[in-house]
Chains A and B, each alone.
Chain A
Amino acid sequence: MKTFKIGGVHPEAQKLSNEISVETFPLPKQATIFVTQSLGAPAVPVVAKGDKVKVGQLLAKAEAFICANVHSPFSGTVNKIEPVADFTGYKKPAIIIDVEGDEWDESIDTSEEIVSEIKLSRKEIIDRMKACGIVGLGGACFPTHVKYMLPEGKSADYILVNAAECEPYITTDYRMMLEQTEQCLVGIEALLIASGAPKALIGIENNKPEAIRHLQEATKTHPKIEVVPLKTKYPQGAEKQLIQALTGRTVPNGRLPIDAGCIVNNIATTHAVYEAVQKNKPLIETYTTVTGKHLANRKNYKIRLGTPLKEVLDAVGIPENTGKIISGGPMMGKAMANTNTFFVKGMSSILFLDASESKRIPESNCLRCGKCIQACPMGLEPYLFRMLAVHNRLDDLEAHGIMNCIECGCCQSGCPAHIPLLDTVKTGKSKTGAMIKSRQVKKS
C-alpha cells in the first residue's frame, strides 16, 4: 500500500465522532465576520454601517493577488466595522452583522438537487472560484483560484484530492465523503476542467475502509477520478507528503506542487468548489467537528461563518476539567487563549483536551536518541535546529534547511525528553525567514 517514504508518526486516531451525522447549527443573533479569512492580505470591506445584506452578498473584496472574497453568511444589517479580537487575543478587522433572517441572494441556487453537468469553461470556473471566495479547507486557507492560475509553461498532470484526514479526532472530511459523495466528485470534475489535468487521484487512509468502499463505488461513473487507499501515517495530508504518496514524485525544495505537475486540494474544498461552480454559492459555511475524549456530546456541525464560538460551546456544554480548547487537530491546531471568537473558513475542529492531557511534561536533557530525525517527514534534523535556534545561528539554520520544515509536529510528539522542539524550530524558522527576506530586499 502506498504512503510517503521517510518519517511520519502514528498518533492515536481518536476518530470519536465518526458515526455522527452532520447537523446544521442554528443561526445566531449577531455574527462577526473577520475580513481576513484566507492566507495573504485582508479583504477590503465593501459594505458600510447600516447596510442591509442578504445571504451570499459580498462583504469584503479581495484586492491583493493572494486574498479571498468574503461573503455574508446571514441576511441582516451591518452593525459595525471594527477590529475584534480572535482566539489569540489579537484584534483583526471584522464586520459585525445583526442577523435578521435567512434570505438568500437571488443568484444562488438553493435547491437540494445535485447538478452533475458542468457548463462553465476553464476560465469561468476559475473566475467563479475567485468570486465565491473559495479557499483551501485543509487548514492553510490558501485561495484556491490562485492554485489554478498556472505559471507560464507549467501544466498539471494530476489533481490530488486530500481525503487522508490524518489529523487525529477530526471527522468532517469523513462525513463529507459519506454524505456528500456525488457533490465532491462533481467538484473534482470541475477542478479537472479548471486545471486541464487528465486525471484526479483521491488519497484516503486505510483506517477509513467505509469511505474508500463508498467512493470506489461512486467513482465508477467518473472515469477520470481514481480512489487510492493509503497506509495510515501522519502527516499524509501534508501537500508534499501526499504528492509523494500518490504519485511518487517529490516537490523540489522551496518550490510549489505545480513544479511536480500536481495541484492538491482538500476533499472539503472540492465540495465548496461544487457549490460555487454548480450552484453559484459562495463559501459561507464551515464543517466543524466538536470533539474530545471527555466530551459526551460530540458533534459534526455545518456552521455559518461568523457564528460566535460561545453558542457552540453552550450547545455542547464545556466539559468539566477542560484544560485546553484547540481550533484544529491536536497535531497542528492552535490552542485558544479565549473563547470569544467566531467561526472562520477552514475551522475544521473544536477539540477539548482535559487538564491531564493539556499540561506539558517538563523537558529534560536531550538524549540524542535521533527519534526526531526518524519522525521528520522532510528528512531534517530537529534536534540540531533547536541547538542552533537557541544560539540564534540563523545562517546555519538556513544552511541545514530549516525553511523546508512543514511544522507538522512529528518531532515533538515523540520526543522522550519532552523538549518543545517545534516551538524552537518555529522560532528559528520565522527569524531565518525574516533574515532571508531582508537580504532579498537589500539585493533588489
Chain B
Amino acid sequence: MSENLLQVSGAPHVHNGESTKRIMWSVVIALLPAFMVSVFYFGLPVILITAVSVASCILFEYLIQKFILKTKPTIDDGSAVITGLLLAFNVPSNLNLLLVVLGAFVAIGIAKMAFGGLGNNLFNPALVARVFLLISFPVQMTTWPKATPIWNFGFADIVTGPTPLGILKEGVKNGDAVSQLMGSEAMPDYLQMLVGQMGGSFGEISAVAILIGAIFLLFRKVITWHIPVAFLLSAFVFSGIFWLVDPTHYATPWFHLLTGGMMLGACFMATDMVTSPMSARGMLVFGCGCGILTIIIRLFGAYPEGVSFSILIMNAFVPLINKGFKPQPYSKI
C-alpha cells in the first residue's frame, strides 16, 4: 500500500504505549536487585548459571519457533529471558550446567511451546522446569552452597549447608523444639534472612531485593497488589494459626515469609500474567490458594519447600477461577 493514503480503522485511534516488550523487560529489570544479591553471596557461579539458562532458553525458543512451528521468532519480546532468569533463580548455585540446559529445554520446549507459545501455557514454565529437575535430580537440586559474602569467597572449597526450611523440617522430625532449632548455629537470624545470607536457590534468598523489584513492578503497573498480598497474607495467617496453637512444633509466621521461595514466588512466579487469573477477585482467590497450599506442604508434606508446588497446583485451577470469579460488574441487575 502506498504511504500517503489515509488510514481507516476502528476506534480507538490512540494507544497508551504499553507493549509486551515493555512489560517483559520491566520484569527483567525488576529481577536485577535479587540477581546482584545472589552474586554477592554465591559469587561467579551465579553469573555463569544465569547466562547459560537465559541463553539456552532464548536458543530453544528461537529453534522451536523457526524450525518446528515455522513462525517468525519472537525472542526479542523478552519472555524467554524472564523464563531463563527465573529458572536460574530457582536452582542452587552449584548445579551442573548440563542440568540447567535440560531445565531450559523443559521450560521452553515442554511447558511453553508445546502449549502454543507465549500466552497459551497453562503452567509457569520456569516452575515446571524447576519441579522437573527437583524430582529427577533430587540430590543435585538440594545441595545448597553456603551463602558467603563475596570478600570471603574461596574458589577452593565450596562449603555446602542446609536451607533454614531444611533445618526446620529435619529438626522437627527428630523431635527438637522450634526454639532450639532457631538458636542452632546453622540457622541464620532474621536480619540475615531479610538481606539474604542463607542457603537456598540463589534468586530467592533476599527478601529485601525481591521486594524492591516488586515495588518497581507495581509502580510500572506490570503487576497488581492482589496476588502478592493475598499470597503472603494468607501464608502469614495460616502459619500463624499453627504457631499460636503449638509454638514448639511450628515456626513463626514471619519465619515462613522470609525463608524459602516465598517472596520470589509471591512477587514474581505467582504474578506471571499468563498463568494467573484475570479478574481482581480471581487474583485474590489464587493468591490465597497459593499461600495456604504452601504452608500445608511446608508443614505436612515430604518436601521442606512448597512454593513451586503450590503455584503449579493453583495454575491448574486458573481456568476454573476465571470462570467462577468474574470482574465486578457495573450493575448487578
Contacts and interface: CB of A to CB of B under 8 A. Distances in A.
B330 A379 contact: yes
Contacts of B11: 330-335, 407, 409, 422
A383 B330 contact: no
B252 interface: no
Nearest to A414: B16
Contacts of B15: 361, 412-415, 418
Interface string A399-429: 0010010010100111111101011001000
Contacts of A9: 16
Nearest to B279: A373
Contact of B327 (A331, A373, A409, A416): A373
A251 interface: yes
B111 to A, nearest CB: 15
Nearest to A427: B10
B327 A366 contact: no
Interface string B295-333: 000000000000000000000000000000011111101
28 contacts: A10-B16, A250-B331, A323-B6, A325-B6, A330-B13, A331-B12, A331-B14, A335-B10, A335-B11, A335-B13, A336-B6, A336-B8, A351-B13, A355-B3, A357-B13, A357-B14, A365-B20, A368-B119, A373-B278, A373-B327, A374-B280, A381-B279, A404-B331, A416-B20, A417-B20, A420-B9, A422-B10, A422-B12
A247 to B, nearest CB: 13
Nearest to A334: B11
Q: Dominant SS at the A interface? A: loop
A376 interface: yes
Contacts of A240: 330-331
Interface in B1-54: 3, 6-16, 18-20, 22-23
B114 interface: no
A333 B13 contact: yes
Contacts of A414: 15-16, 18
Interface string B110-148: 000000011110000000000000000000000000000
Interface in A341-379: 351, 353, 355, 357-361, 364-371, 373-374, 376-379
Nearest to A406: B330
Given A355-B3, A364-B20, A367-B273, A420 B278 contact: no
Contacts of B22: 416
Nearest to A420: B10
A353 B7 CA distance: 10
Q: How large is the interface on A (under 10, 10 to 19, 20 to 34, 35 or more residues)?
A: 35 or more
A265 B252 CA distance: 60
A366 B20 CA distance: 9
A253 B333 contact: yes
Given A335-B7, A365-B117, A381 B278 contact: yes
A335 B224 CA distance: 34
Interface in B79-99: none
B284 to A, nearest CB: 13
Given A333-B11, A335-B8, A365-B117, 8 more contacts: A250-B331, A324-B6, A338-B6, A360-B9, A368-B273, A380-B329, A401-B329, A417-B19
Given A324-B7, A418-B19, A367 B118 contact: yes
Given A370-B273, A380-B327, A381-B326, A330 B14 contact: yes
A337 B6 contact: yes
A332 B12 contact: yes
B8 to A, nearest CB: 5
Given A250-B330, A365-B118, A379-B329, A413 B279 contact: no
A176 interface: no
A268 interface: no
B208 interface: no
B248 interface: no
Contacts of B330: 5-6, 240, 244, 250, 377-379, 404
Nearest to B117: A365
A252 interface: yes
A373 B12 CA distance: 16
A338 B7 CA distance: 10
Interface of A: 5-6, 9-12, 168, 240, 244, 250-253, 322-326, 330-338, 351, 353, 355, 357-361, 364-371, 373-374, 376-381, 383, 401, 404, 407, 409, 412-418, 420, 422-423, 426
B27 to A, nearest CB: 12
A401 B329 CA distance: 10
Contacts of A420: 9-10
Given A250-B331, A366-B119, A367-B119, A358 B10 contact: no
Nearest to A250: B331
B23 A369 contact: yes
Nearest to B226: A370
A130 B283 CA distance: 51
Contacts of B119: 365-368, 417
B172 interface: no
Contact of A168 (B7, B14, B326): B14
Contacts of B117: 365
B189 interface: no
A413 B16 contact: yes
B274 interface: yes
Nearest to B121: A368
A367 B14 contact: no
The 4 closest A-B pairs by CB, nearest first: A409-B12, A365-B119, A379-B329, A370-B278
Contacts of B74: 364
Contacts of B118: 364-365, 367
B7 A323 contact: yes
Contacts of A334: 11
Nearest to A371: B18
A353 B13 contact: yes
B172 to A, nearest CB: 39
A369 B9 contact: no
B12 A251 contact: no
A314 to B, nearest CB: 17
A210 B4 CA distance: 40
A377 B12 CA distance: 15
A412 B19 contact: no
Contacts of B283: 370
A56 B333 CA distance: 45
A281 to B, nearest CB: 32
A414 B14 CA distance: 9
Contact of B13 (A6, A324, A373, A418): A324
A412 B15 CA distance: 8
Contacts of B326: 379, 381
Contact of B10 (A244, A353, A426): A426
Contacts of A407: 11
B18 A416 contact: yes
A289 to B, nearest CB: 15
A371 B276 CA distance: 13
